[in-house]
């Protein structure tokens, strides 16, 4: 099994993701990234940050040890969001960055995300090269050629200054509840919103090393919904553990997902002449309601595989300005090289102020189609693409749904399962079609 997944390396900390592995990955990354990008006039530099998991402490120590032993100077920035690391790498001209986080995963997991010079995520070829160089013999530097570890106390303020520089509209008058998932955004998200002028109520903003994503954040919106309704807030904002996602709750307690946020921003940006080629990038999981709403607004949707790095690749390749995922990864290409939950929140709140409409009104630009996802587990994936029975069933389902629905079947990249996704005009129809297709997959591949 490949070491890197769709967003770095993840696993159970101290079991799958050990200090030894973290050190080895850091050494290999230092070698590959410095070599692939060419030598610099000075010693190579890296930015290293983490979310609030207790395991991040020993993993950070291992990553710093690996990088410095390879002759890289390391700037430790502490607990900051993943997009902050991407920004700081670009802003400081560093050669690479490492974020220690498992994002929205439960606390016992952790992960390693690596950024190259300029703050971009690694492409598949660089990840494969790093994996291929693990534990290889190498000539170790000694004496003054060994890297140094420096605590960077300016990083948080630099990131906040960058976020606030994207705000052109005073947010005074907006009452916002922000759920920080007891994660990496626990200080910077409330602070950024307050400095932008909003009245802020922060919840799940007291990380203790063990409570990250624990019944809070973008994967558990119940507490945020309750607080919005209780406080009479205009909007609730939810981040995940490393704050590269943004989801929302409107004043009536309704969910606002990433597709709806993108729809709001795409329409706004088109009206202001900021949406390049009147085109937005989504993924194969983008809701059919989003695609139809964009079509009705004269906006083309280009789809990519699931994963915000694939969205970014398409934005760069096609020179576009906006893309993202239903899960809340939204990329404003003119402002960032990665999904940034706090940046997304600020852009959404500005649109509320600019339009003088509630987020509930703005989100009505699209009608979300009911979506049912069934994971068919413990099946053989080898015959998936060639099974006549499966694809005949898919064709029949597509004919049945017509323009009022959509079918997507895909295999998992890490587990022996097939994902069956169906969208339709009602939950009943979507569930029935998805269940029928799941039975065919199980009969053919089980």
Find out whether 186 and 207 touch, Cβ atoms under 8 Å: yes
Strands 9-12, 109-116: pairing kind: antiparallel
CA–CA dist 320, 270 (Å, integer) = 12
> Tokens for 359?
């987020």
Alpha carbon 443 to its chain centroid, in Å, reads: 35
Using alpha carbons, select from 375, 378, 381 the residue that is nearest to residue 434: 375
Q: Count of CB atoms within 10 A of residue 367's CB? A: 14
CA–CA dist 346, 188 (Å, integer) = 12
Alpha carbon 294 to its chain centroid, in Å, reads: 22
Q: Count of CB atoms within 10 A of residue 159's CB? A: 24
Which residue matches tokens 């089980």?
446
Return the exposure string of 161-200: e unless at least 16 CB atoms fall within 10 Å of the residue's CB, then b.
ebbeebbeeebeebebbbbbbbbbbbbbbbbbbeebbbbb
Q: Residue 113: helix, strand or coil by DSSP?
A: strand
Strands 9-12, 96-100: pairing kind: unpaired
Strands 73-79, 45-50: pairing kind: parallel
Using alpha carbons, select from 265, 223, 260 the residue that is nearest to residue 354: 265
Using alpha carbons, select from 36, 15, 13, 17 the residue that is nearest to residue 25: 17
CA–CA dist 337, 331 (Å, integer) = 7
Residue 326 DSSP code:
T
CA–CA dist 332, 434 (Å, integer) = 34
Q: Which of these is catalytic: 52, 55, 103, 321?
A: 103
103 catalytic? Reply is yes
Cα dihedral 356, 357, 359, 365 sign: negative
> Tokens for 373?
């996802």
Find out whether 64 and 76 touch, Cβ atoms under 8 Å: yes
Q: Catalytic positions, please? A: 103
């Amino acid at each position: 099994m490949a070491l890197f997944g769709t967003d770095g390396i993840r696993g159970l900390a101290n079991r799958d993701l050990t200090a030894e592995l973290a050190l080895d990955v850091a050494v290999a990354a230092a070698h590959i990234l410095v070599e692939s990008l060419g030598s610099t006039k000075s010693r190579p530099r890296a930015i290293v940050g983490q979310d609030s998991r207790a395991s991040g402490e020993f993993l950070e120590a291992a990553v710093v040890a690996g990088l410095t032993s390879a002759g890289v100077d390391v700037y430790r920035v502490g607990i900051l969001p993943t997009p902050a690391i991407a920004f700081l790498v670009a802003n400081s001209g560093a050669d690479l960055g490492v974020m220690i986080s498992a994002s929205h995963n439960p606390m016992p997991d952790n992960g390693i995300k690596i950024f190259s010079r300029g703050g971009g995520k690694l492409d598949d070829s660089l990840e494969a090269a790093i994996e291929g160089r693990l534990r290889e013999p190498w000539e170790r530097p000694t004496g003054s050629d060994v890297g140094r570890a420096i605590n960077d106390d300016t990083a948080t303020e630099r990131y906040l200054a960058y976020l606030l520089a994207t705000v052109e509209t005073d947010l005074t008058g907006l009452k916002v509840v922000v759920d920080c998932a007891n994660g990496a955004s626990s200080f910077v998200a409330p602070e950024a919103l307050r400095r932008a002028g909003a009245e802020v109520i922060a919840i799940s903003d007291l990380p203790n090393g063990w409570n990250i994503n624990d019944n809070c954040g973008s994967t558990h919106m119940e507490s945020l919904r309750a607080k919005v309704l209780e406080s009479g807030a205009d909007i609730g904002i939810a981040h995940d553990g490393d704050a590269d996602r943004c989801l929302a709750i409107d004043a009536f307690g309704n969910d606002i997902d990433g597709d709806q946020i993108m729809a709001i921003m795409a329409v706004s940006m088109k009206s202001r002449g900021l949406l390049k080629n009147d085109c937005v990038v989504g993924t194969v999981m983008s809701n059919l309601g989003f695609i139809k709403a964009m079509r009705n607004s004269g906006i083309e949707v280009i789809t990519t595989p699931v994963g915000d790095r694939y969205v970014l690749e398409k934005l760069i390749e096609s020179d576009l300005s906006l893309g993202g995922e239903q899960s809340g990864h939204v990329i404003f290409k003119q402002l960032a090289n990665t999904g940034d939950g706090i940046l997304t929140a600020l852009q959404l709140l500005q649109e509320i102020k600019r339009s003088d409409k509630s987020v509930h009104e703005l989100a009505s630009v699209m009608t979300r189609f009911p979506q049912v996802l069934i994971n068919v587990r413990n099946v053989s994936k080898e015959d998936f693409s060639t099974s006549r029975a499966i694809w005949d069933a898919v064709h029949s389902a597509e004919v049945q749904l017509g323009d009022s629905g959509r079918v997507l079947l895909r295999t998992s990249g890490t587990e022996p399962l097939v994902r069956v996704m169906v969208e339709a005009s009602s939950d009943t129809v979507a569930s029935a079609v998805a269940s029928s297709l799941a039975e065919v997959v199980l009969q053919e591949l089980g």
